[in-house]
Chain A
Amino acid sequence: MIVMTKDTMQIVREQDVVPFRNRVREYAVKIGMSLVNQTKLITAASELVRNMLKYASGGKVILEIISKNAQTGVRLTFVDEGPGISDIKQAMQDGFSTGRSLGLGLPGAKRLVNEFDIQSTPGTGTTVTITHWKHGR
């Protein structure tokens, strides 16, 4: 795998969400991703960045354009040092929420992108990585 472009964005407040989404769009456009795939990727990213703000009071996102097996894609890594998630299986279920919201962020994001990975340690933080390929689905 080759990393072609890389950048990091700090996310500390609600006002960072829209500029962050715009940056993700720039990356997706740069590799020629279709509008539907752009929309899926940005929506997933929006959910994850909101979780970071809501449950971990912020964090950072690493944005990358990557290339693997002749495929180009956008990879986003959401890193926070919040409380972590003790039961990831439960958190990944549709409708589960400790924040009295819809509980669609994690499972929905997973459905929207080609690759989804979540690592979390209670007391240490959470890292979610998503990748969406230019020609993904």
Chain B
Amino acid sequence: MDRIPILKMGPYLLVTIQIDLYDRVALNLENDLITMVSKTEAKGVLIDISAVSIVDSFMGRILGNIASMSRIMDAETVVVGMQPAVAITLVELGLTLQGVHTALNVEKGMELLQDMIGLHSSSTEDDEEGPDDRND
């Protein structure tokens, strides 16, 4: 397998990385995501790395690139599910993942995106916030 599927969910793109990625696959993902953001005008990118056990500076740079390229096209990037051992290691490695937001899991990541983008899904969630002052 050398491509990771990208799911479109409303204004968001969702990617679940299920294994430690070979470089080629990671680079393909970077390209595919950036192309998809531009094509679909997505407002947010959610990358689930809960199954990733190692993030080195190569992988970190790819996550950073995805975030900065997406930002240029007006989309925010949230990385979700980073394993605690990976997070601790990244700090010591010195990698800050600039421009990359993080959240505990996909659900929290979605919430973060919605807050950042100021969109509210028109579904049944009516128990979270009172006034609905969405900006158009």
Q: List residues of A whose CB falls within 8 A of some B CB.
A: 14-15, 17-18, 21, 35-36, 38-40, 42-43, 46-47, 50, 94, 101-102, 104-105, 107-108, 111-112
Contact A112-B88, Cβ < 8 Å, known A39-B54, A50-B58: no
- From 1 to 59 in chain B, residues with beta carbon under 8 angstroms from any chain A beta carbon are 20, 22-24, 53-58
A47-B88 contact in complex given A17-B22, A104-B93, C-beta closer than 8 Å? no
Q: Which residues of chain B are within 8 angstroms of A43 by Cβ–Cβ distance? A: 54-56, 89, 93
Q: Interface SS of chain A: helix, strand, loop or mixed? A: helix
Check B104 for interface membership: any CB of A closer than 8 A: no
7 tightest CB-CB pairs across the interface, nearest first?
Answer: A108-B93, A39-B85, A46-B56, A36-B85, A104-B57, A102-B57, A39-B89
CB pair B23 A17 closer than 8 Å: yes
In contact, A21 and B20 (Cβ under 8 angstroms): yes
Task: Judge whether B94 and A107 touch: CB under 8 Å.
Answer: yes
User: For this complex, into which size category does the number of interface residues on chain B fall?
Assistant: 20 to 34
User: Contacts A39-B85, A47-B57: A108 and B92 contacting too (C-beta < 8 A)?
Assistant: yes
Contact of B93 among A17, A50, A111 (CB under 8 A): A111
Tell whether A39 pairs with B53 under 8 Å between CB atoms, given A14-B23, A18-B20.
yes
Nearest opposing residue in chain A for B84, CB measure: A36
Q: Can you list, as one digit per residue, whether each of B56-97 has a CB less than 8 Å from chain A (1) or not (0)?
A: 111011000000000000000000000111101100111100
| Inter-chain contact A40/B54, CB cutoff 8 Å | no
Partner of B92, one of A101, A102, A111: A111
Contact: B85 with A38, CB < 8 Å?
Answer: yes
Nearest neighbor of B21 in chain A, beta-carbon distance: A18
Cα–Cα distance between A72 and B52 once the two chains are bound (Å)? 27
Q: In the bound complex, how far is the Cα of B57 from the Cα of A7, in angstroms?
A: 26
Which chain A residues lie closer than 8 Å to B20 at the CB level? 18, 21
29 A–B contact pairs at CB < 8 A? Answer: A14-B22, A14-B23, A15-B22, A18-B22, A21-B20, A21-B54, A36-B88, A36-B89, A39-B54, A39-B86, A40-B89, A42-B53, A42-B54, A46-B56, A46-B58, A47-B93, A50-B56, A101-B58, A101-B61, A102-B61, A102-B95, A104-B57, A104-B93, A104-B95, A105-B57, A107-B94, A108-B92, A108-B93, A108-B95
